[in-house]
Amino acid sequence: MAKALGKPAAVLVDDHPAVLTAVRSLLQDEFEIVTTAVDGRQALAAVSAFHPELIVLDMMMTGWNGFETAQRIIEVSPFTKVLFLTVVEDVDYMAKAREIGASYVIKRRIRCDLLTAALQLLAGNLFFSPL
């Protein structure tokens, strides 16, 4: 596990630079953002290199989707907690996230839910934005 300055390490994954900037600003006081990625392959490489405690993962990306990426990440770094950040407001997606032990934050609720979800996930509790 990578830890810098006593903060848990995090990797941020989204194909929209503005979202990465927003996520970084919301988490940087509590997490050491070790790198960002724009797709599943970059995310897997980042997790393999840094073994962060947390990955914030977009659901809809080019190439592998969020679930495909998460499954690969869990295989190489089972202690890395997965937090999906998505525009998809769907109970079936949320149920699938729960099955793999991931939290689920809806992008329209990023400001009120993201930090809470990340901290709860590291404490061992799943978090799901209300629909």
Question: What DSSP assignment string belongs to 53-94?
Answer: SEEEEESS-SSS-HHHHHHHHHHH-TTSEEEEEES---HHHH
Residue given tokens 């596990």 in the structure block: 1
pLDDT along the chain (131 residues), means of 10: 73 96 97 97 97 96 93 96 96 96 96 98 97 88
Token pair in block for residue 16: 């929209």
pTM: 0.94
Looking at residue 123, the DSSP 8-state letter turns out to be T
For residue 54, count other CB atoms closer than 10 A to its CB: 25
Q: Report pLDDT for 128.
A: 98
CATH of region 3-119, choose from 3.60.40.10, 3.40.50.2300, 3.40.50.720, 1.10.10.60: 3.40.50.2300
Angle at 17 between CA 19 and CA 62, to 5 degrees: 95
Structure confidence at residue 89 (pLDDT) = 95
